[in-house]
Amino acid sequence: MNFTGFKDFKDEIVKRISDIYPDSAVELKDVPVCNRGILAGLSIKENQSAVPGIYLDDYFAVYQGGRDIYEIVGEICILYEEFMQKDHADYSFIASFDESRKYLKMRVINTGRNKEFLMIVPNIGFLDLSVIFYLDLESAGNNASIINVTHQMFSVWGKSIEDVQKEAVSNMGQNDPFIIKDMRSVMLDIFAAGSGKKAKVEELRKSFLVSLKRMGSKTAFMLPQTKGNT
């Protein structure tokens, strides 16, 4: 059987997976994914608290490249079975802010490329970027190393974005200390540590300061804390 359209392909995958796991809930829904837009997410769930993210968009691409659909279904089953064998963690603690707070961290993503994704996660805008929050569970030994913090989790926690940001900053400062420096300071440090030709450094410095005045000097960097930038 040959499927030329993505919808028919998705429907066939869901049907075959449902036949293989008749006692499981096999669902397909659109999932906003960071840096990738909206993907077709397949989930196979019995009684476990977490399921692997299986995106059919990638499988449709290899199907169009000549891969047999039987092989694709087999790969999905293997992925699911491997996850079930390795992951026996209890993720119920995520419902508690007090138990989740030690795993909180944050990162920046491109706002323009993640409009759909940013609709489901609390975020703080900064220039053309957005700061988002996640739980870094790798240290807890869980199979799912990262879980993005969503509006739903905020609602369950009953916390503000300021509360979560405070915890994330504290955790990141402990594990990988950093300081915040504006662009002016960063560039002046670069010039000072650069060429020994003082006249050339001063010329570059003046040129850059003129550019800063035009920009309003609003850009900032987050740098690792080292002896050179304390």
pTM: 0.67
Is 143 among the domain residues?
Answer: yes
- Examine the domain organization and report whether 79 and 102 are in the same domain: no
Q: Going by C-beta distance under 8 Å and a sequence separation of 6 or more, which residues neighbour residue 189?
A: 181, 228, 229
In a domain, 71, yes or no: yes
pLDDT value at 218 more than 50: no
Find the domain containing 223 and state its range: 179-229
Q: What is the pLDDT of residue 225?
A: 43
Residues 198 and 210 in one domain: yes
Q: What pLDDT shows up at residue 191? A: 64
Question: Which of 71, 86, 101 lies at the terminal end of a domain, its last residue?
Answer: 86
229 pLDDT above the threshold of 50: no
Write down the pLDDT at residue 133: 94
Beta-bridge partner residues of 28: 42
Is the same domain home to 200 and 217?
yes
Q: Please state, in angstroms and rounded to a whole number, the distance separating the CA atoms of residues 230 and 227.
A: 6
Widest distance between CA atoms in the chain: 77
pLDDT digits (tens, 9 = 90+) for 84-100: 777 556 778 888 999 99
Task: Please tell me the total count of domains within the chain.
Answer: 3
Across 51-55, 117-121, 185-189, 221-225, which has the greatest mean pLDDT? 117-121
Work out the mean pLDDT of the chain and round it to a whole number. 79
Statement to judge: residues 22 and 50 lie in one domain:
yes
Helix, strand, coil content of the chain in percent (nearest 5): 50, 25, 25
Give residue-wise pLDDT tens across range 203-212. Answer: 555 555 554 4
Task: Report pLDDT digits (tens) over 131-177.
Answer: 999 998 776 555 557 889 999 999 999 999 999 999 998 888 666 55
For residues 97 and 172, membership in a common domain is answered with yes
- Would 1 be classed as within a structural domain? no
Give the pLDDT score at 4: 80
